[in-house]
Structure 1
Amino acid sequence: MNLLRRIHLRLARDLDLRAPHWASQLRRRWLYLRHPIVDLQIDPTAHIGPGFQLIAPYGGRLVVGPYAEFRRGTTIELGPEAEVVIGKRVIFTNTALVQITTRLEIGDGVGLAQGTTIYDGRHGWDDPDKRWYEQPFVFRPIVIGEGAGANNKCTITASIGEGTIVAANSVVNRDLPANVMAGGIPARVLRRIGEPGATTDAGASAGAGVSGEA
């Protein structure tokens, strides 16, 4: 397997320069070979960029729709019962990280910018008699609605409504409604899309603007 991996990496590296489409196809086929116990359904039109990693030693399910795009260095990690469903024309830009134990659904046309991370679980910390590493994980499924976007280095642990845009460096730890601009730590609604200049008091002090690659 190590020899096959070295051959695959060299071929993919050469093809990236000459024929990116075929490099993507080679990576796609390698994923099926490398992860026989994972329920993989990757549309042939999806682009698998250099450095893509799937970490799923105990199974899980990954569905990738038409024309989805994983740019350089995207990593997806699945628990044994995890299900990740990615719609068509979803874009993961460089070094995005996804770690799912329950379920993640990403609607069509979503953009996730450089360094964005998505987690469906966290350590508990409510018991004062136990350290955080002694407490059980808390999980919840995540849905990112159609046409939503998260700018550079967002951390997402909750759902995002359709068409909502999240500012760079924000932490989404509570569900966001559809069709709003949001930002901050934690992310708050700044204004509704289509209402120029309208800003909530919380948004005015959130300290994050929409910037970066979507």
Structure 2
Amino acid sequence: MTPPANPSGEISLAQALATIAPNGVRTGCRIIREGDEAHLLPEEARSIPARQPAMRRASGAARWIAHRLLADIGISNVAIPRAPSGAPVWPEGIMGSLAHDDNMAVAAVARVGHIVSLGIDVEPAEPLPDDIFAIVATGADRAGAVDRRLAGRILFCAKEAVYKAAYPLDREVLGYEDIAVDLDAGRATTKTGRKVSLAHCVAPRVVVLAFVGQ
């Protein structure tokens, strides 16, 4: 059952995302609500194989955000179907990224320009379990001055976002060990040599934006 929506948390996260987004990138968030699967356009609904109500609600919430971000730049009534790879398919001239955890969906969109690829990920602001941390973190990662309690979670979120930003450009499947993250410097490097910029917030969710410039 989806917990009751907390609009104050939604507003706080929306404000934090707007603060970290680079110029030209629009961001948004939505607490996943009962019935959000109804926001899927017919083409989108057909493209999403998951039949579990929770997964379809989350996909509907993320696309609800994206539809509104696109409308803000004059693009309305355009479907964002799911490709066989799992990535969203954006309208020509647009790049973007979607993500959700169990309770919150986020999206980022931009016109293709000085930024050529985007990735976003969201996670609860909770410590990463030790067994997952052991898989995610490597000796090349630098957590810097971030809250030590959340360092693993932010690293995890960053690597997920980097993969989303790098894959459309390099078509290279990356593991966590293939991405080195420096949170203080706000950058990551993949095993292919791809340089990706990072920005993150913790308010009240961990969200990382990853983007590649010209």
| Structure-1-length-normalised TM-score | 0.31
> Which of structures 1 and 2 has the bigger CA Rg?
1
| Structure-2-length-normalised TM-score | 0.31
